[in-house]
Amino acid sequence: MEDLAYLQAHSREASHLALIDSAQRTTALWPTASRFDVVFDTPFQNVHGIDLLGVNVPRTEYNVSSSRNILRFSFGQPGVNEKHTATIPEGDYDANTILSAANSALAGFQSAAGEAITVSALPPSASISSRVMLTCAEPFTIY
């Protein structure tokens, strides 16, 4: 503890910037990006503190996951006709690709009259940036 007090009283503050990217690690030694060592060309000595100014952690989950990829619906009156389940594959989707994936998932289901539910984009409103509309020439119910 005395050494730390001495360093704090007799040292100067210096700033060094280090950009560390786990993709540049030696994967043979460090197979997972969650744990690896960084070796600096010039070692730091008598360091008594480090401030981490920022970190960028990539998103590791899909925006459509197995717990949020099911569309349940029926054609006709609620409770009268068979319920259907359309599954959108897990993945990362943008506004256009999610519409395509939803339409592909719904395309396999048709009403007795041969009509299918389609999904299309609506213009944004003042409070909602992304809106969709589900349409079908026949009545349908979403569960």
Sorted by where each begins, the domain ranges of the chain are 70-142
Closest Cα partner for 102 from 136, 126, 134? 134
Q: What is the pLDDT of residues 29-85, one digit of tens each?
A: 989 888 888 888 888 887 777 888 888 877 778 899 999 999 999 998 877 788 999
Q: What is the pLDDT of residues 84-119, one digit of tens each?
A: 999 999 999 998 899 999 999 999 999 999 999 999
Number of Cβ within 10 Å of residue 105's Cβ equals 19
Q: What is the pTM of this model?
A: 0.59
Find residue 135's DSSP bridge partners.
118
Q: What is the pLDDT of residues 128-138, one digit of tens each?
A: 888 999 999 99
Residue 66 tokens, joined: 């197995």
Rounded Cα distance, 84 and 76, in Å: 12
Question: Residue 101's Cα: distance from chain center in Å?
Answer: 17
